[in-house]
C-alpha cells in the first residue's frame, strides 16, 4: 500500500525526469560503442591489413535510378549521407531544448550558452596562436567541438558521485556547443557556392516550413521534401549535412488532440496529475494561434508529436549505428615513424592545447563571468569544481572534431596529424575530467552532505513532489527544480 502510494506521489517528477535519464543512459552506452569503434579503426589501420582499410572506404557505391542516380565513395556516403541523420538528430535536440529544455528561457540558458561560447572561443584562439598563417591555419574550428556521447559516458561511469543537475548542465552545454559547431561549418567550411542549387534547396526548405505551418504530420511528406533538400545542398557547395539541422527545425513539435476524446483516451492524452498541478508534462508550447487543441510529447499514440517520435526512433540507430560507423571510417590513421613527432606538429599542438587546456579554461572563465554579472546562477548542488570538471570533459571532441578536421584538411598529411591529436586529446580530457570530478564530488559531499543524484530521482523512497519550480526531497528540502515543470 505504502509502495503504491509512494509511486503515485513520484509520478509527476518521474514523468519529467525519466526521459532525460533514458537519454543520458543511451548516450553513455553509445559512447562505449563509439570508443570500441575508434579502437577497431586504429587497430585496422595499423595492422597487416591496413591497405584494405583505405580500399574499403574508397569503394564506389551507387544509389538511385537514372536519371536520379548518384555514385560516390563509401566514405562520402557515410560523411555526407549518414551523418546528415546525425545532424538531423542534433537539430531535433536543439529544437526541443529551445522550446522546453535548458535553452527555453534566457535565465536557464545563460549559463550553458556562456560556457559553450567560452569553450569555443578560447580553444580556437589557442589553436590560431600555434598555427597563425601556417599550412594548418584552416583547422581553427577543430578544437571547438564537444562529443556529447563520450562526455556523458564518463559521467555515467561516476554514477551517483556527481549531482544530477551537472548532467543536465553538460547536456545543455553540449547542445549549445553543437549550435556553434553547425554555424561554424556553414559559415567557414563551405566550398564554392552554386547559386542555382542553393535556390532549389531554398525552395525545398520553404516547402518543409509550409508543411509544418499547415499542420502536415505525415512523415512521408517530410521524407520526400528532405531528400530533395539534401540533394540540392550536396550540389550547392554548402555541406550537405547542414540539411539535417534545417530539416529538423521544420519538423512539427506539436500534435493535435481532439477536444472530444473518449474518457480513456483523454486520460491518456492528459494525465490527471498534470492537470491537477498545472503541468504540461514534457510539453512543447502551444502554436502561435493559441489553439488549445495542440499538445506534444506525452508518451501515447494520441499526443506524441512527430518531432519526439522521430527523436525517440532515431536515437538508438544514430548512437549504435551511424556514429560508430563514422568513427570506424574516420578514426583510422596509420602511425608510421615516431608518433611523438606527429604530436609535435603545429596542427597537433594547437588541437591538444585547444581541447585539453582551452576548453576547460574557456568554459570556467565565461561561466564565472556570467555568474559574477548575475545573468546566471550555478545549478543546485553544483560548485565551481564541478564546472571545472565539466570543462575538462568538454575537451572530448572526437566525433564533431573529426568531422570538422575532414572539412578543414581534406585528404592530406595534416588530416592524419589532426586525427592523432583529436584522439589523444579526447583520451586525456576524459581521464582528467573523470578523475577531477571524482575528487570534487568526494570533497563537496564531505562539506555539504548529500545531493539528489540521477539514481535517487528514480528511487521512490526519495519521495519527490512538485511544488511550482521547486523539487523537495527528504535530503534536500529546498532544492531548485532540475527540470522546469512548465513550458513557456
Q: Which helix or strand (DSSP H or E) is residue 408 part of?
A: helix 398-409
Angstrom distances, CA of residue 199 to CA of 36, 140, 235, 340, 458: 42, 30, 11, 48, 50
Residue 433 · residue 154 · CB < 8 Å: yes
Helices 164-188 & 2-45 angle (0-180, nearest 10): 40
| The three cell numbers locating residue 312 | 525517440
Query: What's 474's DSSP letter?
Result: S
Query: What does the block give as the cell for 389?
Result: 570538471
Q: How far apart are CA 417 and CA 420, in angstroms?
A: 5
Strand ranges of the sheet holding 479-480, from the earlier edge strand across to the other edge:
465-467, 470-472, 479-480
- Pairwise CA distance, residues 61 & 113, whole Å: 41
Domains identified in the chain, total number? 1
Q: What is the CATH number of the domain that holds 343?
A: 1.20.1530.10
State the Cα–Cα distance between residues 132 and 470, nearest whole angstrom: 50
The least confident of 45-59, 97-111, 235-249, 383-397 is 97-111
pTM value is: 0.69
DSSP-derived secondary structure for 362-399: HHHHHHHHHHHTTS--PPTT--HHHHHHHHHHTT--HH
Please write the tens of the pLDDT for every residue from 352-370: 999 999 999 999 999 999 9
What is the span of the domain harbouring residue 451? 2-67+107-164+174-184+328-480
Q: Is residue 90 part of a domain?
A: no
| Average pLDDT value for the chain | 77
In a domain, 264, yes or no: no
The DSSP symbol for 286 reads P
**CB-count burial class (<10 Å; 0-12, 13-18, 19+) for 202:** middle
Cα 138 to Cα 351: distance, rounded to the nearest angstrom = 12
Q: Which segments of 257-305 are extended strands (E)?
A: 294-295
Looking at the DSSP assignment, which residues form a beta bridge with residue 68? 65
Helix (H, G, I), strand (E, B) or coil at 20: helix
Run of H or E including 183: helix 164-188
Q: Decide which of 254 and 200 is more confident.
A: 200
Residue 288 lies in a domain: no
Measured CA to CA, the distance from residue 192 to residue 264 in angstroms comes to 57
- Identify which has the larger pLDDT, 52 or 238: 52
Checking if the pLDDT of 128 tops 90, the result is yes
pLDDT in tens, 58-115: 898 888 776 677 888 898 899 888 989 988 988 888 888 788 777 777 877 899 999 9
Contact 274, 280 (CB under 8 A): yes
Of 37-41, 268-272, 374-378, 442-446, give the lowest mean pLDDT range. 268-272
The predicted-structure confidence for 324-333, as pLDDT tens digits, reads as follows 898 898 888 7
pLDDT for res 13: 54
CB 351 within 8 A of CB 142: yes
Phi, psi of 450 (to 5 degrees): -90, 165
Give the three cell numbers for residue 419.
Answer: 586525427
pLDDT digits (tens, 9 = 90+) for 280-320: 333 444 333 334 444 444 444 446 788 888 988 888 888 88
Distance CA(189)–CA(80), nearest Å, equals: 14
Q: Is residue 318 part of a domain?
A: no
Could you identify the residue written with the cell 550558452?
A: 113
Say whether 79 sits in a helix, a strand or coil.
Answer: helix
Ramachandran region, residue 200 (left: φ > 0; alpha: ψ -120 to 50; beta: rest): alpha
Residue 352: inside a domain, yes or no? Answer: yes
Is the pLDDT at 446 greater than 70, yes or no?
Answer: no
Cell of 405: 578536421
Mind giving me the DSSP string for 412-473? SHHHHHHHHHHHHHHHHHHHHHHHHHHHHHHHHHHHH-----HHHHH-GGG--EEETTEEE-
The answer for residues whose C-beta is within 8 angstroms of residue 379's C-beta and 6 or more apart is 111, 163, 165, 166, 168, 169, 480, 482
Q: Mean pLDDT across the stretch 191-220?
A: 89
Q: What backbone torsions phi and psi does residue 5 show, to the nearest 5 degrees?
A: -65, -45
Residue 9 lies in a domain: yes
CA pair distance 335, 64, nearest whole angstrom: 37
Q: pLDDT grade, residue 17 (50/70/90)?
A: low
Identify whether 266 is part of a domain.
Answer: no
pLDDT at 488 over 80: no
397 lies in some domain = yes
Mean pLDDT of 375-390: 89
Contacts of 325 (CB under 8 A, 6+ apart): 37, 78, 82
pLDDT value, residue 11 = 53
Q: What residues form DSSP beta bridges with 60?
A: 73
Confidence of residue 199 (pLDDT cuts 50, 70, 90): very high
Amino acid at each position: 500500500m505504502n509502495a503504491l502510494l509512494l509511486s503515485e506521489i513520484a509520478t509527476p517528477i518521474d514523468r519529467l525526469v525519466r526521459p532525460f535519464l533514458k537519454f543520458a543512459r543511451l548516450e553513455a552506452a553509445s559512447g562505449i560503442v563509439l570508443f570500441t569503434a575508434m579502437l577497431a579503426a586504429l587497430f585496422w589501420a595499423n595492422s597487416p591489413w591496413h591497405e584494405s582499410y583505405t580500399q574499403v572506404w574508397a569503394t564506389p557505391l551507387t544509389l538511385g535510378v537514372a536519371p536520379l542516380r548518384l555514385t560516390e565513395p563509401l566514405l562520402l556516403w557515410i560523411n555526407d549521407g549518414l551523418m546528415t541523420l546525425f545532424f538531423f538528430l542534433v537539430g531535433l535536440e536543439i529544437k526541443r531544448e529551445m522550446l522546453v529544455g535548458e535553452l527555453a528561457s534566457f535565465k536557464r540558458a545563460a549559463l550553458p550558452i556562456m560556457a559553450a561560447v567560452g569553450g569555443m572561443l578560447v580553444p580556437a584562439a589557442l589553436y590560431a596562436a600555434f598555427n597563425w598563417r601556417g599550412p594548418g591555419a584552416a583547422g581553427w574550428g577543430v578544437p571547438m567541438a564537444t562529443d556529447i556521447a563520450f562526455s556523458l559516458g564518463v559521467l555515467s561511469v561516476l554514477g551517483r558521485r556527481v549531482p544530477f543537475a551537472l548532467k543536465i548542465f553538460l547536456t545543455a552545454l553540449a547542445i549549445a556547443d553543437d549550435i556553434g559547431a553547425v554555424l561554424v561549418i556553414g559559415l567557414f567550411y563551405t566550398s564554392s557556392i552554386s547559386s542555382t542549387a542553393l535556390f532549389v534547396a531554398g525552395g525545398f526548405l520553404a516547402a518543409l516550413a509550409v508543411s509544418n505551418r499547415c499542420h502536415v504530420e505525415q512523415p512521408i511528406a517530410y521524407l520526400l521534401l528532405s531528400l530533395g533538400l539534401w540533394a540540392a545542398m550536396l550540389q550547392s557547395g554548402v555541406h550537405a549535412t547542414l540539411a539535417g539541422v534545417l530539416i529538423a527545425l521544420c519538423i512539427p513539435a506539436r500534435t493535435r488532440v481532439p477536444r472530444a476524446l473518449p474518457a480513456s483516451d483523454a486520460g491518456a492524452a492528459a494525465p490527471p496529475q498534470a492537470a491537477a498541478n498545472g503541468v504540461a508534462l514534457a510539453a512543447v508550447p502551444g502554436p502561435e494561434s493559441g489553439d488549445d487543441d495542440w499538445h506534444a510529447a506525452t508518451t501515447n499514440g494520441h499526443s506524441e508529436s512527430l518531432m519526439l517520435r522521430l527523436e525517440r526512433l532515431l536515437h538508438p540507430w544514430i548512437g549504435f549505428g551511424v556514429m560508430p560507423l563514422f568513427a570506424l571510417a574516420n578514426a583510422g590513421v596509420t602511425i608510421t615513424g615516431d608518433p611523438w613527432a606527429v604530436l609535435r606538429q603545429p596542427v597537433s599542438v594547437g588541437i591538444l592545447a585547444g581541447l585539453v587546456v582551452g576548453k576547460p579554461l574557456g568554459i570556467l572563465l565565461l561561466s564565472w563571468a556570467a555568474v559574477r554579472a548575475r545573468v546566471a546562477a550555478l545549478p543546485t548542488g553544483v560548485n565551481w569544481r564541478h564546472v571545472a570538471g565539466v570543462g575538462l570533459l568538454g575537451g572530448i571532441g572526437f566525433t564533431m572534431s573529426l568531422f570538422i578536421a575532414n572539412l578543414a584538411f581534406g585528404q592530406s598529411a595534416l588530416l592524419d596529424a589532426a586525427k592523432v591529436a583529436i584522439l589523444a586529446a579526447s583520451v586525456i580530457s576524459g581521464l582528467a575530467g573523470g578523475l577531477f570530478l571524482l575528487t570534487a564530488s568526494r570533497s563537496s559531499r564531505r562539506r555539504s552532505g548529500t545531493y539528489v543524484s540521477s539514481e535517487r530521482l528514480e528511487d521512490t523512497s526519495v519521495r519527490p513532489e512538485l511544488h511550482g519550480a521547486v523539487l523537495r526531497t527528504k535530503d534536500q528540502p529546498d532544492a531548485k527544480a532540475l527540470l522546469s515543470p512548465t513550458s513557456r
